[in-house]
Structure 1
Amino acid sequence: MVLLVFLFSFAGSLAPAPVNAAGSGKTYVIGTDTTFAPFEYQDANGSFVGIDMDLIHAIADNQGFKVQIQSLGFNAALQALQSGNVDGVIAGMSITDERKKVFDFSDSYFEAGPMMGVAANNYTIESYEDLRGQRVAVKAGTEGATFAESIRGKYGFALVTFDDSSQLVDEVKAGGSAALFEDYPVLAYGIQQGNGIKTVTDKEKGGSYGFAVNKGRNPELMQMFNQGLAELKSSGQYDEIIAKYLGSADAASGADIDGEQAAPQANRLELIWQSMPAFMKGLGNTLLYTIVSLVFAFILGLIFGSMKVSHNKVLRGIATVFVDIFRGIPLLILAFFIYFAIPQAFGFKMEIWQASVLTLTLNAGAYVTEIIRGGIQSIDKGQMEAARSLGVPYANTMRKIVLPQAIKVMVPSFINQMVITLKDTSILSIIGLVELAQSGKLVIARTYQTFDVYLTIAVMYLIVITILTKIADRLERRISRG
């Protein structure tokens, strides 16, 4: 357990100290969604753009501070803010009384409102009354979800909740839900992108979007945001940003959203070609995190695997506890605990890459421990006894006699663990790690071309895993012949 404490302390020591001094010229870490177009999304060049992104950068320039954007899901961004891993959140976040108990909000920068959408080829649902007995899709934490919850008893429909706006569209197009409720600018943007959805009702009255910080924290950042927002509105720059993404004033107010479907902007080959740089960057991160995590996992596995075959009961007990804990906790829960819970409990910041490597290392390390234990115990005990009878020290016997034979037995299991860890990196997109799967989600948030993107991602995973498996098989054969 001392080793685990060291690992957590090491991760915390590498993280930059929280920003808490007032004044300009500082860099603030801002969490956002980046799957909530047109407020925040990733363009074809891999840059984060949208109303929220343009606003926060313009306000930072106006007030003389800098921002570092962290791409997270909406719920993950709020948890990162509570844990102190980000200084503020701007993500199309509605200002509510419940949220005011936890966060301090800026002045309103956008007046929103929910709207219902149905599949473009659906001519049976034209009002809320037609939803009776149907299933309706909403995104967690949005005004659309709040509004749908408030009327579902009256109109007798069931709710299903998703994390991304694009998932709502896929759910409705696939026929899983009859309709969706989403904030009207997001719905309008998706229709313009040819997402297969149309509107059949008017926009409902909604609340306001605000920038958030932890309650009682970063008051200077909040003051600069409000002052910068006021100056942007006074100069007309705010209106320019809104018009850039929503067009006319009528479109911005939801008055002239076209209920009919627009044509897609690009064909399939153009989409894949334009998105390939983002995919390749995500693939590079996937391979990097896999390799780094497995190196540390092998070190942990070697240490705890040796402890599990030790004659010392205390060492065996410690190794058993390590394996039981990190093999028993689901990877998703472990990632949440490391990235959100630990920094909040001990008061330090942790970078996403640190949490990701630590999560994968501890999870894979538990399995590697068992691989090494099984490999060592597969070797005839008589060899160890013979070496000891000849006066060879235990360490030398393990290093020169037992382990070289055990490695041949372990190689197939190591290959399998390598493949598992590579695929497990996709789970860490939940805390904002931009690997291959997350790269695909960001592209879908901009284009709504789910089938083409996920097919490309699946083929890329298949190619990489096949190549790595073939290389590992050749290595296994060479070791076996040796």
Structure 2
Amino acid sequence: MLLTLLAGFFAMTFGVSALPAHAKEGPVEGQTFVIATDTTFAPFEFRDSSGEMTGIDMDMIREIARREGFNVDIRALGFDAALQAVTSGQADGVIAGMSITDPRKEVFDFSDPYFDSGIQMAVKADDTSITSYQDLKGKTVVAKTGAEGLAFAQSIADQYGFTVKALDKADTMYSEVAAGNAAAVFDDYPVLAYGINQGNGLKIVTEKEQGSSYGFAVLKGQNPELLQAFNDGLASMRADGSYQDTLDRYLQAPNSGESSQSFWGLLTQSMPALLKGLLLTLGATALSLVFASLLGVAFGFCKVSGSKILGALASVYVDIFRGTPLLVQAFFFYFGVPAALDIKMSVLTAGVITLSLNAGAYMTEIVRGGIQSVDTGQMEAARSLGLNWMQSMRKIVVPQAIKIMTPSFINQFVITLKDTSLLAVLGFAELTYQGQQIIARNFRSFEIWLIVGAMYFIVIFALTKLSNRIDRRINK
């Protein structure tokens, strides 16, 4: 019940579009479709200073939904995760500056093209040594995972003798070049132009290479009425000029001014979104620890119960969740389970399940270790007084074990709070995710990560001090 209430709160916090007042009647009228998108692909999708998803793709899908009479629930997941969301049934469609290619046509049905792209190369603004592809020999370049820029860079890498490294976010790529870790970046020309306009410290040094077209996509053979509604809405926008107005609003947009703000101005503007992310981080951590504690106590007692079956069951649980990476577990519960069971699962639910099961495995060992650390003579003395096993555990052993376990529980609390940051790859809008979104807009990675790190430190420091105080009271 608590999970459901929190899920509803976060849904209201991050917004779902409302049914348009004057919607067109049709097969999609009144329906709500989950639309997956990238997290950082400005000017097509990014978060504005208020934390709302905006950009060419976002304005377009919302306007088409308004005209065609359906609702959209936007899920900003990242490009690869967005595609997985559609193939696993977690989302109905994807719009993320996605190039229409033959391999993708085998998996997805595409709309009419809505943008013709092209690839350009950019280098550090003060770099005069690289002006063409020939200058890249022996160097490393970066491009975005799954994007057209990566495919183009890989297609000419052998010819010009350079190495290609794929990264999943535009701001990360630009930071690699600005820091000197990569010689150049290949990206879609409007994305590069927007980033340079926002002060990412790069410059374009090549002409635009012919690219492919972007399209809205649904899983092959699924949601044909949604695809048709998108095409109809797109045609309508082109006919009345609103399509071109949308492009002009972002492709010709002036600098937002954020890149020239003072540190304190940036802090003030970013704090609402960061506090929203911190709230989600703390909420998810608290929920996860409640369930993890229950799991830890249950399986911990199984391990010390003396039953071979219960002990083996607990050991299998612990081995699985301590022996696999947390990120793999998150992908499994968010993409794998819904695809296998044909259900939809919110990112909050998947995140809490992942953190609970992972932390529960470690808490199982904490409980087992705490109980077994109590001198065996305590149990023997209790049994000699006529107490049964459960009474002995409850009245004699467990109270002593709790004192032993408390420091380890505090440490696991801190670890779980920090582990929430890994769920940013699912579009889980916690503190780290919010930091990524702000950087994608203003490219001030040093200052934003400094602020995010300071917020984590302050919260963890305060909670650790509070926990240690409680520990001293328990163990005095």
Aligned mates of 2:284, 2:235 — CA distance in 1: 43
What pairs with 1:287-302 in structure 2 (closer than 5 Å)? Answer: 287-302=282-297
Q: What does 1:240-259 correspond to in 2, within 5 Å?
A: 240-247=245-252
Residues 275-323 of structure 1: CA deviation (Å, up to 9, x unaligned): 1101001111111111100000000000000000011111111011110
Assess if the C-alpha contact under 8 Å between 1:135 and 1:157 holds in 2: yes
Secondary structure at the residue paired with 2:200?
coil
Moved more, 268-277 or 206-215: 268-277
Q: How many residue pairs get matched?
A: 453
1:126 to 125, 131, 135: 131
Deviation at 1:265, TM superposition (A): 4.1
Look up the SS of the partner of 1:104 in the other structure.
strand
1:94 to 79, 96, 99: 99
8 Å CA contact 2:259, 2:444 repeated in 1: no
Deviation at 1:430, TM superposition (A): 1.0
3-state SS, counterpart of residue 211 of structure 2: coil
- TM-score normalised over the length of structure 2: 0.93
Q: CA RMSD in A?
A: 1.8
Aligned twin of 1:441: 436
Tell me, in whole angstroms, the C-alpha distance in 1 between the residues paired with 2:195 and 2:103: 29
Gaps spanning 5+ residues in structure 1: where?
A: 1-6, 16-20, 252-257
Q: How does 1:21-170 map to 2 (within 5 A)?
A: 22-170=27-175
In structure 1, the residue corresponding to 2:387 is in which secondary structure?
Answer: coil
Is the contact made by 1:193 and 1:265 (CA closer than 8 Å) also made in structure 2?
no
Q: Is the 8 A contact 1:31 1:72 kept in 2?
A: yes
1:391 aligned counterpart, secondary structure: coil
Cα distance in structure 1, aligned partners of 2:216 and 2:331:
24
> Does the 8 Å contact 2:122/2:202 carry over to 1?
yes
Asked if 1:416 corresponds to 2:411, the answer is: yes
Q: Give the 5 Å matches for 1:10-409.
A: 22-247=27-252, 264-409=259-404
Residue 455 (structure 2) pairs with residue 460 (structure 1):
yes
How far 1:388 moved relative to its partner? 1.6
Give SS of 1:340's match.
Answer: helix
* Residue 255 of structure 1: aligned partner: none
The alpha-carbon deviation at position 272 of structure 1 amounts to: 1.8
Distance 1:311 1:141 in 2: 52
Quote how far apart the aligned CAs of 1:184 are.
0.5
Q: Which amino acid aligns with 1:86?
A: A
- Mapped to 2, the partners of 1:335 and 1:311 lie a distance apart of 33
Letter in 2 for 1:37: A
Distance 1:401 1:218 in 2: 61
Confirm or deny: 8 A CA contact 2:258 2:442 kept in the other structure.
no
Cα distance in structure 2, aligned partners of 1:96 and 1:239: 24
Counterparts of 2:158 and 2:177, CA distance in 1: 21
Q: Identity over aligned residues, as a percent? A: 56
Structure 1 residues 67 and 59, CA gap change in structure 2 (3 angstroms): same
Structure 2 Cα separation of the partners of residues 169 and 143 of structure 1: 16
Task: Give the secondary-structure state (helix, strand or coil) at the position aligned to 1:205.
Answer: strand
Q: Secondary structure at the match of 1:206?
A: strand
How far apart in 1 are the matches of 2:434 and 2:28?
Answer: 35
Deviation of the 1:22 alpha carbon: 4.3
3-state SS of the aligned residue for 1:180? strand
* Alignment check: 8 A CA contact 2:258 2:266 kept: no
TM-score where L is the length of structure 1: 0.92
